[in-house]
Homo-oligomer: A and B are copies of this chain.
């Protein structure tokens, strides 16, 4: 029995929607039968927090609940803070995988840059662990997570079985659909947010405030090798993501340019 317990995968879970969000609860529900779970998640919404850290404020943290195979902490910090706190203070052993999500909203294409869900997964990768981010392309609090359920544990077990090269993670997005055609491995689609600023009336000062809004315009909707194409066609999109964001092609061309013509 004890040996069997030790063989269960040990996962560190976080998200950017808060420890009580339905996406995270869905993950817990589906993974708990087969894995031991440590959840360290924000105490409220942190959408759009990217890989931000609390550099100038301390982080409050409280134990929400602890039972066999499931411990939950809620913190005042960012998603990345949560992963750092989990790994430095709360883990019982080295996790087999860091799992972030399920995000209520789309983290494909350039959205991955702003995503706190991806921030948490990326932090796992930066700390030397395999890491997976799950997102559903539906921002509603009552989004339907049922169709995702059969896929969550298989993805987690596959990620642990295969492992990941250092400084990489998986960004997995599910389309808003009643069922999925399968899994497509694709690249990050090129897109651009436009018309992003809306004026916002203050009760006393007109237009002194702005809301971020707008929409994401696809720049290559026809390309069939992207995460966006996969989602549009009801596939689950897996985008292999590098934490080494050096542009190696540009590196070689700049080396040549700066050798030919020094800056000063």
Contacts and interface: CB of A to CB of B under 8 A. Distances in A.
B48 A49 contact: no
A256 to B, nearest CB: 9
Given A50-B50, A208-B62, A240-B246, A84 B200 contact: no
A66 interface: no
Interface string A91-122: 00000000000000000001011101001001
Interface of A: 45, 47-56, 58-62, 80-81, 84-85, 88-89, 110, 112-114, 116, 119, 122, 126-128, 150-151, 154-155, 158, 162, 164-168, 182-183, 185-188, 190, 192-193, 195-197, 200, 208-212, 238-251, 254-255, 257-258, 262-264
Given A165-B247, A188-B246, 9 more contacts: A45-B56, A47-B56, A50-B50, A50-B53, A52-B52, A84-B197, A127-B192, A151-B264, A185-B258
Contacts of A45: 56
Nearest to A54: B212
DSSP majority for the A interface? Answer: mixed
The 10 closest A-B pairs by CB, nearest first: A48-B55, A240-B250, A242-B247, A50-B50, A50-B51, A187-B246, A88-B197, A58-B209, A48-B53, A240-B247
A96 to B, nearest CB: 18
B244 A239 contact: no
